């Protein structure tokens, strides 16, 4: 702790302890007259609080193991067989936790911060083994996943890694951005590769490179725009809610979003909402978590302006009740984690693709509380998805990888925070709501709060946007 007056030292101690206890309070809420003995009282209350939450884990796990699910599929098929196999493994893990407990106190496995940081750092600094050749179209993605994973764990990025990011991305940037950004050397520009590559540059704060290419990227993105308001992934390629989200996010971060780019996009996205309530990639196909996240997050970049509140605007274009019903159905009773679509298996990457939709709904609908079971998701991630050698995985039995490490950690962060919009003056730009995210820590943890619209630690997108707003003044 830094030096200061007795009052400010006490305030710092209490802020620190409250952080450990789970809910961060603003300094103004704290009593500056607290003495050292009050400080000790708070420390022993912390022990009690841990016991309390250990009891809660016990009660929750007992219910997860015994209560039947809301809907059970009794039709036997390979789908139900796979589901039973996953349930058996997870039942084993949760039963062991209960059996090892004393006096009904169950502690989740702690988040293994040190080994996960080591995993991320090692993957960023070692040459890949030959089997990674299959990832050759994913250079930008791998950099985004790993650097984001590291920064979400509140770790700084080494200068050598920042340089690596810039060098690699420049090698896949085509004609200074006029041809977009490809997945690997010699490959054509692709909206998803551009998205991941730009996020990687934003994470290492290489705003100079971004400034140099951003107006060229705008031209390339406009060339992908279709008459119906959606965007192609690449010239002649498929268009879906993913490409739309990728392009809107990049335009917003680089302060190049305009009416022309946004034209008809909100109404096209709405045609992707299915009878189930979730969104498919293109109209009339199956609702899926990945596509649904992309559609809903896109609205935060599109609906900043207009009549009425943001909530009214969103509720006017889509069926929010049906969306909430479908999204809530993705959390499985026994596992605690999410599936990506009806009748499919739990997978930790949906802790972000589905988990990220909840804060968006919590903010936009002003729910003032949780729309899903944060403790159950946390229990799934901590006990079922950590690899002891570092990294996080889809489910028990799977190997950790960069993609799951990143999205599962983002999901863990979501489970440990609650979200609302910041107090606001009247928003004036389409994407203003994407930057009004406020969070409060509600569970103990090591991960930074995130901005769920961008899938970045809170503050990262905000800093980038500010940089380009200033540059454009
Ligand atoms: C199904 O996989 C997966 C999809 C149909 C696409 C998922 C889309 C995303 C994850 C969003 C991507 C976002 C960006 C920004 C590019 P599966 O059939 O293997 O898995 P499942 O059984 O869980 O559905
Ligand atoms: Zn997955």
The reported pLDDT for the residue numbered 118 is 98
- Whole-angstrom CA distances from 303 to 7, 84, 291, 380, 419 are 45, 42, 18, 34, 19
Confidence at 101, pLDDT banded by 50, 70, 90: confident
Mean pLDDT of 394-413: 98
pLDDT at 43 over 70: no
Residue ID of nearest Cα to ligand 1 atom 3? 290
Q: Is 108 contained in some domain?
A: no
pLDDT at 24 over 50: no
Residue range 167-212, pLDDT digits in tens: 999 999 999 999 999 999 999 999 999 999 999 999 999 999 999 9
pLDDT more than 70, % of the chain: 89
Q: Is 106 contained in some domain?
A: no
Residue ID of nearest Cα to ligand 1 atom 12? 290
Q: Is 105 contained in some domain?
A: no
Residue range 121-133, pLDDT digits in tens: 999 999 998 999 9
Do 158 and 74 share a structural domain? Answer: no
Do 207 and 277 share a structural domain? Answer: yes
Show which of 99, 124, 143 is a domain's final residue: 99
pLDDT: which is higher, 442 or 30: 442
The reported pLDDT for the residue numbered 47 is 63
The reported pLDDT for the residue numbered 49 is 60
For the annotated catalytic residues, the residue numbers are 288, 341, 344, 347, 349-350, 394, 401, 404
Q: Whole-number mean pLDDT of the chain? A: 91
The reported pLDDT for the residue numbered 29 is 34
Q: Is 104 contained in some domain?
A: no
Domain tally for the chain?
Answer: 2
Do 173 and 28 share a structural domain? Answer: no
Residue range 425-442, pLDDT digits in tens: 888 999 999 999 999 999
Confidence at 41, pLDDT banded by 50, 70, 90: low
Mean pLDDT of 1-18: 45
How close is the Cα of 348 to the center of ligand 1, in Å?
12
pLDDT at 409 over 60: yes
How close is the Cα of 410 to the center of ligand 2, in Å?
13
Q: Which residue range(s) make up the domain with 330?
A: 113-471
Do 397 and 424 share a structural domain? Answer: yes
How close is the Cα of 35 to the center of ligand 2, in Å?
49
Residue range 222-233, pLDDT digits in tens: 999 999 999 999
Query: Would you say the CB of residue 341 lies under 6 angstroms from ligand 1?
Result: yes
Residue ID of nearest Cα to ligand 1 atom 11? 290
Residue ID of nearest Cα to ligand 1 atom 10? 290
The reported pLDDT for the residue numbered 74 is 84
Query: Would you say the CB of residue 288 lies under 6 angstroms from ligand 1?
Result: yes
Do 270 and 155 share a structural domain? Answer: yes
Query: Would you say the CB of residue 21 lies under 6 angstroms from ligand 1?
Result: no
| Tokens encoding 76 | 């036997």
For a ligand 1 pocket test, name from 241, 290, 292, 326 the mutation site with the most ligand atoms within 8 angstroms of its C-beta.
290
Confidence at 68, pLDDT banded by 50, 70, 90: confident
Cα 85–chain centre separation: 28
pLDDT at 31 over 70: no
Do 342 and 276 share a structural domain? Answer: yes
For a ligand 1 pocket test, name from 83, 250, 340, 351 the mutation site with the most ligand atoms within 8 angstroms of its C-beta.
340
Do 126 and 29 share a structural domain? Answer: no
The domain that contains 119 carries what CATH number? Answer: 1.50.10.20
The reported pLDDT for the residue numbered 30 is 36
Do 178 and 69 share a structural domain? Answer: no
Do 141 and 224 share a structural domain? Answer: yes
The reported pLDDT for the residue numbered 2 is 35
């Amino acid at each position: 702790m830094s030096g200061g007056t007795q009052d400010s030292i006490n305030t710092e101690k209490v802020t620190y302890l409250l952080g450990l206890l789970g809910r961060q309070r603003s300094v103004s809420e704290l009593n500056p007259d607290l003495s050292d003995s009050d400080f000790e009282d708070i420390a022993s209350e912390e022990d009690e609080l841990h016991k309390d939450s250990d009891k809660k884990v016990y009660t929750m796990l007992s219910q997860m193991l015994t209560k039947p699910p809301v809907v059970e599929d009794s039709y036997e098929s390979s789908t139900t067989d796979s589901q039973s196999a996953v349930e058996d493994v997870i039942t084993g893990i949760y039963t062991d936790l209960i059996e090892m407990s004393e006096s009904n106190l169950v502690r989740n496995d702690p988040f293994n911060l040190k080994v996960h940081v080591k995993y991320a750092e090692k993957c960023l600094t070692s040459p890949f083994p030959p089997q990674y050749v299959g990832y050759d179209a994913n250079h930008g993605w791998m950099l985004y996943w790993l650097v984001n994973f590291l920064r979400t764990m509140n770790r700084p990025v080494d200068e050598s890694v920042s340089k690596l990011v810039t060098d690699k991305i420049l090698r896949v940037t085509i004609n200074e951005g006029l041809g977009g950004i490809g997945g690997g050397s010699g490959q054509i520009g692709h909206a998803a590769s551009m998205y991941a590559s730009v996020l990687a540059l934003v994470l290492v704060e290489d705003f100079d490179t971004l400034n140099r290419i951003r107006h060229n990227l705008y031209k390339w993105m406009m060339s992908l725009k279709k008459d119906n308001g959606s965007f192609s992934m690449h010239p002649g390629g498929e268009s879906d809610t993913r490409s739309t989200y990728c392009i809107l996010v990049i335009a917003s971060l680089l302060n190049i979003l305009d009416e022309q780019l946004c034209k008809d996009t909100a109404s096209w996205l709405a045609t992707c909402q299915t009878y189930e309530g979730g969104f498919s990639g293109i109209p009339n196909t199956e609702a899926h978590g990945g596509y649904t996240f992309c559609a809903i997050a896109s609205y935060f970049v599109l609906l900043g302006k207009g009549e009425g509140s943001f909530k009214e605007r969103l509720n006017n274009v889509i069926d929010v009740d049906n969306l909430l019903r479908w999204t809530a159905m993705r959390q499985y009773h026994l596992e605690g984690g999410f599936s990506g679509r009806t009748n499919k298996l739990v997978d930790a990457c949906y802790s972000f693709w589905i988990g990220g939709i909840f804060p968006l709904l919590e903010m936009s609908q002003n729910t003032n509380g949780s729309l899903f079971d944060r403790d159950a998701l946390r229990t799934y991630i901590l006990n079922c998805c950590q690899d002891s050698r570092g990294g996080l995985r889809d489910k028990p039995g799977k190997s950790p990888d960069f993609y799951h490490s990143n999205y599962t950690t983002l999901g863990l962060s979501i489970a440990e925070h609650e979200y609302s919009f910041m107090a606001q003056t009247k928003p004036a730009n389409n994407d203003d709501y994407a930057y009004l995210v406020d969070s409060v820590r509600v569970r103990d943890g090591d991960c930074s709060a995130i901005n769920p619209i961008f899938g970045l630690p809170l503050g990262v997108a905000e800093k980038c946007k500010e940089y380009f707003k200033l540059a454009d003044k």
